[in-house]
Amino acid sequence: MTKHKIINILLWCAFMSTTAIADSAQATQQNLYYISVETNNIISSIGINGIPLLQDNEGLGRRVNWPISSWIMNGDNTINVALKKTSKDQKVAPYFDIKVFLHDPSSDIPKPKEIYVHYASKEVVEKHGEISLPFVGTANFNFNKPTPTKLWSEARQLTDLTMSHKQNIVKLVNYLEQSILNKKVDNVLKLQQYKIHEDAVAEGHPINEIEDAVRTNYEWLFKTYQFDGSILTLDEADFRLCGNNKIVYVYRKNGKPAVFFRTKDEEFDIPVYIAIINNTWTIVR
């Protein structure tokens, strides 16, 4: 099993369990939104409203439709693109193509019904003649429909991060890391309760079904793999205020996500996004 497969399995367990019950009879008809990303021959970081979502640190290229129903804000939104050269010989021109779209419910796989924004390397080349790396670009779109999630109305807007903030954030990340290392499923679910509830609402599924799916996936993960981890320290941690300064993206100064684990042969990680909800630091995505 490759590193990329393990990473995808863990993200599925922790973040994407809604798809496991997509055919549930209790699921409500919900508008679903995706970001479609295609890249080739570039190291890339793709995000929304300053929040990093999809990263390719090896420049191998990717083609993915990623659900963003829980990320879109009502009003103005921005797609963020950051590109760097790979270590490979640049014989092929860097390429990217990004769309944000409303899913067509008549299709079983993500399919655009309405495209909100389309941003591609072709547009950059037409304007500037080429893509000069490193490259940073943005594309804006307006979303004037109500969002089903509560994060953007409940999260406290921050002006900066104090040392106390950073210490409390690292403490929360450490609790999640230790819970996973010790295979404490109940603790892992409790720490991610807000995120799980938001995922359920965003995807139109009953909360109890999402909770059951996440539990099943973590139980499978803990039974299948033996792993150890590198616990995040304050000196190793870096923090990025994003999402209108309502979310803190926590990661390591070496570029790896905050929660990072290894098996005998492979390694995997979990991105962590934290906010203050009801005066409490909470894992929200």
pLDDT in tens, 69-106: 999 999 999 999 999 998 776 677 889 999 999 999 99
**74 Cβ partners below 8 Å, 6+ apart?**
143, 144, 145, 146, 147, 152
CB 36 within 8 A of CB 3: no
User: What pLDDT, on a 0 to 100 scale, did the predictor assign at position 176?
Assistant: 95
pLDDT in tens, 152-161: 999 999 999 9
**Is residue 137's pLDDT more than 80?**
yes
**Is residue 26's pLDDT more than 70?**
no
The DSSP line for 128-165 is: HSS-PSSEEEEEEEEE-S--S-SHHHHBPP-S---HHH
d(CA 175, CA 248): 17
pLDDT in tens, 172-231: 999 999 999 999 999 999 999 999 999 999 988 999 999 999 999 999 989 988 888 889
User: What pLDDT, on a 0 to 100 scale, did the predictor assign at position 235?
Assistant: 97
- Binned at pLDDT 50, 70 and 90, residue 13 comes out as low
